[in-house]
Amino acid sequence: MELKQLLALVTVGDTGSVTKAARVLHVVQPAVSRYIRALEDEVGVPLFERSRQGMTLTPAGEVLAERARRALLELDRARAEIRPDREHVRGIVTIGLLESTVELVAAPLVEVLGRRHPGIEVRILSAFSGHLRQWLDDGEVDMSLLYNVNSTPSIAVTPLLREALWAIAPPDAELRRQAITWAQVCENRLILPVAGHGLRTLVDEALSTAPTIVCQTNSMPVQKRLVAAGTGWSVLPAAGVAEDVAAGRLRGGPIVDPAISRTIVLALPRAGRVPPAAEVAATEIVRVTHRLVEDGTWPTASVAQAG
């Protein structure tokens, strides 16, 4: 297999069209078609389903495309690391951020890495903790923020901070950052994560009575939109709603009796060499998150102590 063939496979799979892939790759359309046919001849199975609507990867094509993406990414990383530059660390770093932390962490992290380490190309993926942990295990991300996770034989964990769960209410509610009990929260209709979600597990463990749940969703933006529209209340980490509460789009306050918190950690895989660019990025993540806590940007959070 040649690199240009793998690149064509991935690009056609992403765009769904040989014509569009040719434009992206800046080659003629027949060349892309030849690369795909050569790959299919080599592996002995069709990699695409062709139709009037375009080209869709077959199950075999999905498997090969996934491996090809990883191979191309590793080559990009190698090129970045060995490119001559004695003054700066260079490389590509893929960082996983919890969906609930993106609004607070992404901008300052990218800013400080760009300013202090211009040779590092940053890639950020966001998802819930379970998905991020899988991506970390699969090598899709170099490091990730997770919560309520301890070190294991496969990952090394650095505790960053502890934060309380907040009750989130519509903008006209009488809730202005003051503490509120679970009993008071459950007087309202609730919009919660789907069963099995890590945050939902924390909520279920805290509740002594079954609440009235008007909607379950795996999307934090959907939770916030429904609350803002007055559909009900929700329970979310403070980081995910800090900007909305500050802007008056939502009301919020920490929940007590019992108070529930989560510990956010930075996780890196133990296997393999940690590239210099990843080491630098990990150090900056610790600095950025601690600064957000210390200056009050991350509400009701405290720096976690290792061990």
Domain architecture of the chain: domains with CATH: 3-82 (1.10.10.10), 91-161+263-303 (3.40.190.10), 162-261 (3.40.190.290)
The CA distances from residue 85 to 79, 117, 153, 279, in Å, are 12, 12, 35, 17
Q: What is the 3-state secondary structure (H, E, C) of the chain?
A: CCHHHHHHHHHHHHHCCHHHHHHHHCCCHHHHHHHHHHHHHHHCCCCEEEECCEEEECHHHHHHHHHHHHHHHHHHHHHHHHCCCCCCCCEEEEEEEEHHHHHHHHHHHHHHHHHHCCCEEEEEEEECHHHHHHHHHHCCCCEEEEECCCCCCCEEEEEEEEEEEEEEECCCCCCECCCEEHHHHCCCCEEEECCCCHHHHHHHHHCCCCCCEEEEECCHHHHHHHHHCCCCEEEEEHHHCHHHHHHCCCEEEEEECCCCEEEEEEEEECCCCCCHHHHHHHHHHHHHHHHHHHCCCCCCEEECCCC
Question: In this predicted structure, what is the pLDDT of residue 154?
Answer: 84
Strands 233-237 and 155-169: antiparallel
Position 306 pLDDT exceeds 80: no
Each residue of 85-102: pLDDT tens digit? 545 788 889 999 998 899
Mean pLDDT of the chain: 87
pLDDT at 82: 63
- Global pTM exceeds 0.85: no
Contact assessment for residue 239 and residue 163, using Cβ atoms and an 8 Å cutoff: yes
Q: What is the spatial distance between Cα 78 and Cα 230, in angstroms, rounded to a whole number?
A: 51
What would the pLDDT profile of 103-120 be if each residue is shown by its tens digit?
A: 899 999 999 999 988 888
Q: Worst-scoring range by mean pLDDT, 167-171, 184-188, 206-210?
A: 206-210
Please choose, from the candidates 184, 228, 219, 181, the residue with its C-alpha nearest in 3D space to the C-alpha of residue 200. Answer: 219
Q: What would the two tokens of residue 157 be? A: 């964990």
